[in-house]
Amino acid sequence: MSDVYSFREGRIPLLVSVPHDGWQIPADILPDMTGTGRGIPDTDWHVSKLYEFASDLGAAMIVANYSRYVVDLNRPADDAALYEGQIATGICPSRTFAGHEIYFEGTAIDIGARVERYWRPYHDKLDAALAEIKEEFGYALLWDAHSIPSRVPRLFDGELPVLNLGTWNQRSCDLSLENAVMAAAQASPYEAVLNARFKGGYITRHYGRPAAHVHAIQLELAQRAYMNEKSLEYDQEKAFPLIQTLTNLLRAFQEAARR
């Protein structure tokens, strides 16, 4: 087992990926980081906790242990931009979403070494897990789970809707599955959008191959729906109805795939 991620086996053809909930910083990197960087403000706080229910549904789950500031698992290894004309945070970010420096001036980052040490093991396991699911069931479903503060002026205008679904403009997931999940989202108490500001990052785009019977959807949650965005504390009262909605989304994904 790699220290890069934690993994739980499943019993249904669904894998939940949580690439940005990690908070660990390696000891050799920490001294180069500013106080702001050490605070890892751009973490997808508590997403793995929020999705604990997925194991009860029978889904497999892979969760990153290291911070996205070490390496961003949802960016391609060559660091190509995902959103043309928009601010790119990079595979080894140097600035926070708010634009603050993560590292002290003059810090050299060996991107290649970080990719090999922290990025590749996660993706090797993700790829292998999807292959095993597909071999057993004939198809595989990937749900890439994220969250972000409701307001990030440097990245988007105004307040983000709670449910931001992405299928890379219908390329990572069969349309019938996308429609089923979106219908479940629209039936929820939360505002939902599809392929708006967040269309799906590298994980969704790389692994979602409908023609090969691998379907991937990204969900970016606005953090106000399940936590206190100021204190960063998990709010069980807020989270309860959101978990019910997420359960419905994952079930809709599975049921549409079975049909």
Dihedral angle computed from the Cα positions of residues 75, 228, 253 and 203, in that order, rounded to the nearest 10 degrees: 10
Q: What is the predicted pLDDT for the residue at 80?
A: 75
Are 141 and 212 within 8 A, CB to CB? no
For residue 227, report the phi and psi dihedrals to the nearest 5 degrees. -150, 170
Residues 6+ apart with CB under 8 A from 32: 103, 104, 107
Taking only the tens place, the pLDDT of each residue in 17-37 is 999 999 999 999 999 999 999
Give the residue ranges of DSSP H helices in the chain: 35-38, 47-50, 53-57, 111-114, 120-137, 175-186, 202-207, 236-258
Mean pLDDT (whole number) for 137-152 = 97
Q: What is the predicted pLDDT for the residue at 79?
A: 72
The full set of domain ranges for the chain reads: 5-23+43-67+111-258
Spatial distance between the Cα atoms of 236 and 72, rounded to a whole number of angstroms = 28
Q: What is the predicted pLDDT for the residue at 90?
A: 86
Mean pLDDT (whole number) for 205-215 = 97
Q: What is the predicted pLDDT for the residue at 120?
A: 98
Mean pLDDT (whole number) for 236-253 = 98
Q: How far lies 148's CA from each of 7, 16, 29, 58, 137, in Å?
A: 23, 17, 24, 26, 33
- pLDDT, greater one: 88 or 40: 40
Mean pLDDT (whole number) for 28-51 = 97
Mean pLDDT (whole number) for 225-254 = 98
Q: What is the predicted pLDDT for the residue at 84?
A: 61
Spatial distance between the Cα atoms of 18 and 74, rounded to a whole number of angstroms = 10
Are 181 and 174 within 8 A, CB to CB? no
Average pLDDT, the chain: 95
Taking only the tens place, the pLDDT of each residue in 147-198 is 999 999 888 899 999 999 999 999 999 999 999 999 999 999 999 999 999 9
Question: What is the DSSP secondary-structure string of 111-126?
Answer: HHHHIIIIIHHHHHHH
Spatial distance between the Cα atoms of 72 and 111, rounded to a whole number of angstroms = 11
Which CATH class for the 5-23+43-67+111-258 domain? Answer: alpha beta
Query: First and final CA of the chain: distance in angstroms?
Result: 35
Q: What is the predicted pLDDT for the residue at 1?
A: 65
